[in-house]
Structures are given as structure tokens and as C-alpha cells.
Amino acid sequence: MKPSRIAIFALALAMLALGLSVSISRLRHGRLDLPGRIEGIEETEGADLPGEAEPEPVPTRFDILTGLPVFGDEEAMHLAVVVENAPAARPQTGLHEAALVYEVPVEGGITRFLAIYSRAPSGPVGPVRSLRSYLMDLAEAHDVPLVFCGGSPDSLAMVKQKSYPAINELNGGTGFYRDSARKMPHNLYTSPEALYRRIARAGFDTATARTGFVFQQGPRVGSAGTWGESGSSAQGLSSRMGVGYTVSWTYAPGSGMYERSVNGAPDIDSSGDHRIVARNVVVMFVSSRVVDSEGRLELGLVGSGRALVASGGSVREARWKRSAGQPVRLVGDDGADIPLLAGITWVHVVSQSTRVDVTE
């Protein structure tokens, strides 16, 4: 072989050896550009390349009363229960499972709850107590069947006149029981399975409901993490809402929930396991007047009025608006709906003279 050919052959062998050496070095350090390589992920000996990401689960529907996504084939069961709130009725049972709770004044300087559920409560609810006309009005606004025990004459007349889907324990039948550990009349509770069978036999529609609220998914955007300049950062609300009865809500940043207290003590259900919490707390200021010798009230729930809305760690002034027979809406000065965060909402209906303190 001629010297020139030998030199060329030697040069080719040297270049091949150099390329192989570099490739081996890069492979050892996980930097060889193999087909399908994912940037930012080092390949190690024996490791499989990651596959495609798991697809995000798709909700089958959204809960109309909370705005929360519902996955799978869980059926809706919308139902409203009138729950007592006299001192002898505390702590209550089953309130923590309600999607929406109205707290309203009644005669005697106490309040009462209308607990509205979007799925069947897992256990008893109560103590169940008597109906008032404005509780009937609110249940009808959401178009949900109603459960109660007795009621004022005008509220019972409304149920009869409208042929409203309702179950009154005083009419007899199954679906309730008395707890011997408490004194009457503060010891009536729903018997879940029996009540649901009774509702099904009656043919009541529990699959649908209505709301006037608009829900926002995800965190708020704006100053203090809320509604821009319209909301002010606040830790909660506090108000005396009855005789010897003060309700406070304190924001817990970790959970994004408001925690309820009564007379300074945490409000925990009768099991001792569930703190009463809400994602949104609304205060509606309404007109109120006594209408009979029993001290029963008439509340002005049609029209519009001042409201406070606490959500996401901020409180803002708002207006409530409502047409007869329709759900309550919450709007700003521009008339646009104020979005609530998806989750449980509590609405306090109070007289226009009620003082509500915002805690910074």
C-alpha cells in the first residue's frame, strides 16, 4: 500500500475512534440524542421513558347548588329540611352535608335553618321543626321538595294551595324518629332510608333544582386575592343574630373555608366530628315586621337590598335581588352577578338594623 493511502486510512480510523468515544461518553452521562428523547428528563440505565400523561377526569355534571364538579354516576337528590336552632336543639345533626343553608329569624328572638341538599344526606338531619311562609318561599325558589314538622297557618296554606311537594311529619307516615336522649319538641330527626323511600313513592322530583348564584372555578384574581378593588381583605364576620346568640365566621387560609362559631365556641355537629364550614358566607339585609300575636314575622324577600359577601378571604358590599318565586341573585353596583367560589354557601337573612362586624 502506498504511503499516502496508508496515511488516509489511519486518519479515518482515528476519526471513527474519536466519534465512538464521544458517543459512549454522552451515553454514560444520559445526553445521547436518541429518537423520542424528552427534554429535561435524564435517561438512566434500564429506565423506561415516561409514557403519555394520564388524561384529566371529566366531570359528568356540575352541582347546581355548589358549582362543584361531580364525577361518575352519582345521582342528584335535592331536598330542603327545616332545622331548629333554639338552644335546646344545639348541636344539630347533618347540617355539615348541606350544599346551601339559609339562616332566618323566627319569633322568640331565635333563628331557624333551611338546609338544602344536593345529594342524599348520609345520616339523619335535625332537629326538624315547623315551617314559616318565608321558608316555604325560599324552598320554592330553588324548586326542591320540602320536609318539616307542622307550621304557621299561612305557610301550611301556601303548601296546600300550591300542591307543593312537601312532607309534614304531623300528617303521619314514615321517615322520622324521636331521639329519647333529648326532650320534645327538640328531638325529631329524619330517618334517611325511610324518608327517601317515602319521597320516591310520592313521585317528587329530586333530580333538579334552581339557583340564582354564579360560581367561579379556581382562585380569585385581584388585590388581596379577591375581587380586585371591590373586595377588602378580611378574616371574617360576626353578628348578634338573636337573644344571647352571636354567630362568627373566621377565614382559614389553608383550607379556603370559613369556620363557624356560636357564642365564641366552634360550631361542631352532634357527632363531634364535623366543624360547620362554608366556602361563601352571605348576609342579606331585609325588612322585617311582626304580623300576629304569636310574634311571627314577615320578611321582605322580594325586591332588592344591601348584602355582604365573604368569599376567598375577602368581604365586599353587594346587592341582593329577587323576583317573586325566583332564587336570590347577588350583584355589584354595575348590576353584574358577583361570582362565588364553588362550594358550600351559607346565607344569613337579617333585619336591616342588624349590626355585622367585619373582622380584619
The domains located in the chain, with CATH, are 61-359 (3.50.90.10)
Those residues with Cβ within 8 angstroms of residue 65's Cβ, 6 or more apart along the chain or in another chain: 78, 99, 100, 116, 118, 142, 209, 211, 345
> Rounded to the nearest 5 degrees, what angle is found at the Cα of 186, between the Cα atoms of 183 and 191?
105
Query: Which of 304, 309, 303, 359 is closest to 339 using CA atoms?
Result: 309
Question: pTM of this prediction?
Answer: 0.82
Q: Which amino acid, residue 327?
A: P
Mutual angle of helices 153-162 and 133-142, in 10-degree steps: 30
pLDDT values of the chain reduced to their tens digit, one per residue, 360 residues: 544 444 444 444 444 444 434 343 443 333 333 333 233 334 444 444 556 677 788 888 999 999 999 998 888 999 999 999 999 999 999 999 999 999 999 999 999 999 999 999 999 999 999 999 999 999 999 999 999 999 999 999 999 999 999 999 999 989 999 999 999 999 999 999 999 999 999 999 999 999 999 998 655 543 333 444 456 777 899 999 999 999 999 999 999 999 999 999 999 999 999 999 999 999 999 999 999 989 999 999 999 999 999 999 999 999 999 999 999 999 999 999 999 999 999 999 999 999 999 987
β-sheet bridge partners, residue 281: 310, 346
pLDDT of residue 8: 45
* pLDDT confidence of residue 53: 73
Kind of pairing between the strands at 100-106 and 345-351: parallel
Closest C-alpha among 123, 119, 186, 115 to residue 149: 186
